[in-house]
Structure 1
């Protein structure tokens, strides 16, 4: 009889041990899930580009840096000021040196006139986008994209847009290609602080 009780007690102990292990395993899984959810909910450390700007810098950046889809040509080309890197790949092939239908005559002269009024100086130090003969003054991708938008607008909107309007579009792209230098240059021109703002110095490769 005692032997039967001993066997029964052993089975009870083994059963209780199995139940205990199962409960511990379940608790560990619940703890792991809770930890995973907490980590997912926790905000990531801010990157340099997410650093809060001072109110003054934020106001200037909002005024100078273009945002959204260009109303005249953005939807047609699928470009946005909010994604400058992707836009470079679309706009750069449209410049005079690489486009299939070369600009000639009056359009070429306008292209040269506009291209000599701006530059991607923050990248390569060039003082114009093009030389007097219309050839590119800088081989960087930013410069090519700026020339590309000029050539495209001359071809598609040349009858309705003035040279100054087209130039303004090219400079909008320069602002999003070089956010920090654009803001810094403006502040310096106003005699205000010129410390480098918490903005990217360059967006997209040269």
Structure 2
């Protein structure tokens, strides 16, 4: 399982998710500490929960604080860009860069988290669940701290995309495919489904609200 853990998908995901955290901080008009906080919890939150669940000690960023440093540098860079440039980077009112950055981070973390879970020796189904948790939990913390409804509670396809990517990776590994192409296929599946949901407005069916209830 060693080669799976060595695939750097999650390292890139930390930087991408940190960027989304910093962009949300910019939208909320936060100070530099707020930028650093949102970038960091978004970048390492999902991986932290995964490591706690599988019993990895120390948690990845405690043993190697490089990922936290990346989050802080990304936050500082966005803050120094200033309001005008950040507004342009964030795609204006619709925030398309934030949506696409979140989709990219989701796919990267789905396969990175799944690979680390498999390397720790957990069963395949548990690895899929842990990959999904890795991909979504940081964004949940980000949105809660920023006072917005987490994307996982929206109708649009989000968690499903992460679970698909993790499942594709695990399935291909079970069929004997090498780790890197399995992870690449999982990434493509997760990002592709999330991208289609963004572009086409796809969403899952919802249970009708009861009359008189929010």
Q: What TM-score does the superposition give when structure 2 sets the normalisation length? A: 0.27
* Structure with bigger RCO (C-alpha 8 Å, 6+ apart): 2
Structure with the higher fraction of residues in helix conformation: 2
